[in-house]
């Protein structure tokens, strides 16, 4: 594992462990929810094992945070914008739309395009 990868996975593991503890969830409970062994979760939290991409969504749901928060992207965005606190409502809505099937995303995009076009007139 490259040095930058190692640092990323250690930070990710630290965030997972902190959030899990803040929610009062044990490693055994979270591992069972995710369908993995407790030892695997311990390796994730220790940053010695890469978290599978397919596990990010169930992990974020179990920890009640966005995938961006799991991987640390919201912290970068907050630092760049200087803003703190919860994400704006529109950002939360966009994250929910992003989780929908592509067909539904297209319908929502068409409605938005139509409304924005009307707003310009």
Q: How far apart are CA 114 and CA 106, in angstroms?
A: 12
Q: pLDDT (tens digit, 0 to 9) for every residue of the chain, 121 residues total?
A: 677 788 999 999 999 999 999 999 999 999 999 999 999 999 999 999 999 899 999 999 999 999 999 998 865 444 444 555 666 777 777 877 777 788 888 898 888 888 888 888 6
79 SS3 class: helix
Q: What is the model's pTM?
A: 0.60
Domain ranges of the chain: 3-78, 86-120
| Protein fold of 3-78 | 434 Repressor (Amino-terminal Domain) (1.10.260)
């Amino acid at each position: 594992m490259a040095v930058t990868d190692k640092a990323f996975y250690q930070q990710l593991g630290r965030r997972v462990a902190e959030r899990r503890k803040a929610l009062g969830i044990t490693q055994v409970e979270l591992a069972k929810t995710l369908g993995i062994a407790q030892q695997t979760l311990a390796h994730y939290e220790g940053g010695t094992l890469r978290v599978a991409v397919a596990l990010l969504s169930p992990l974020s749901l179990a920890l009640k945070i966005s995938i961006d928060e799991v991987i640390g992207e919201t912290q970068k965005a907050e630092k760049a914008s200087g803003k703190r606190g919860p994400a704006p409502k529109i950002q939360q809505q966009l994250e929910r739309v992003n989780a929908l099937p592509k067909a539904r995303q297209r319908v929502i995009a068409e409605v938005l395009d139509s409304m924005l076009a009307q707003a310009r007139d």
